[in-house]
Copies of this chain bind each other. A is one copy, B any other.
Amino acid sequence: MSSQSVVFIGAGNVATHLAKGFYQAGVDILQIINRHFDKAKNLADQVDAQPADDLNSLMKDADVYVVAVQDDAVQNIVKDLSLPRGTLVHTSGTVPLSQLSNAAPESGVFYPLQTFRADQELDLTQAPICLEASSSETYQQLKALASTISNQIHPVDSEQRKTIHIAAVFLNNFTNHMLACAEELLSKHNMDFDLLRPLLEETWQKVRHHKPSDVQTGPAMRNDRQVITEHLDRLKNEPELQAVYRVLTESIQRKYS
């Protein structure tokens, strides 16, 4: 497939990483649109594109339009769009494909299964791209585009994509919160989180090469009631941590009993 031209609507973390990834791969980035012109210009300058702050100035001759904005902003942007040609995609884990269907001849989802930070380089080749498309031709078009930045391309339907998104919440947001709970507990007793960093390192090394369910340990897994009771008792002054401890202990016990 010959090289494609792409317009980005949005200039946040996801747009930045994708636009730079495409640009480095030789894809032609035509335009970056963001309601804050400075932000559009900042990214546009990095990928030789035109900046704009108004959807009315949207170029109409791109092959692919990527709406890379917060989930709940997709609808607002799309309702005013009516593209004569091209494929309109969003990058969300949750927004249904059908939300795009009236705005362009073809539509799709280009969901990078990764956490993005604007301030940090990321090896996009290791980011799975989950693709969904309104037709098999469009799927092939998006696959060709995704292949320029990633080796891991997965066709997923809307149901699978939403399941993946929930799993990602457990894997990323909730694990981070467990660490934040440990940090909070130590902090309340005047100890520093760094004390736990060697354990964090080993914890990570263990799951890195195993299925998590194969390496579960701890009082809940062993059903060590004496330790569990003591822990819950010691958390009585931290009722919110206690609630989390209780529910997760019960969840582990049910899973492995």
Contact = CB atoms under 8 A, between A and B. Distances in A.
A79 interface: no
A105 interface: no
Contacts of A71: 224, 226-227
A202 to B, nearest CB: 5
Given A113-B198, A171-B196, A212-B193, A254 B240 contact: yes
Nearest to A195: B128
A185 B170 contact: yes
Contacts of A170: 178-179, 181-182, 185, 241, 244-245
Nearest to A186: B167
Interface of A: 71-72, 94, 113-115, 117, 122, 126-128, 152, 154, 159-160, 162-186, 189, 191, 193, 195-196, 198-204, 206-208, 211-213, 215-221, 224, 226-227, 230-231, 234-235, 240-241, 243-245, 247-248, 251-252, 254-255
12 contacts: A113-B199, A115-B206, A126-B198, A166-B245, A171-B196, A173-B220, A173-B221, A175-B179, A176-B207, A183-B213, A200-B208, A243-B247
Contacts of A216: 173, 176-177, 180
Contacts of A182: 167-168, 170-171, 212
B163 A219 contact: no
A200 B167 CA distance: 11
B251 A244 contact: yes
A179 B163 CA distance: 14
Contact of A217 (B122, B173, B181, B189): B173
A255 to B, nearest CB: 7
A173 B166 CA distance: 20
Nearest to A252: B177
A201 B184 CA distance: 24
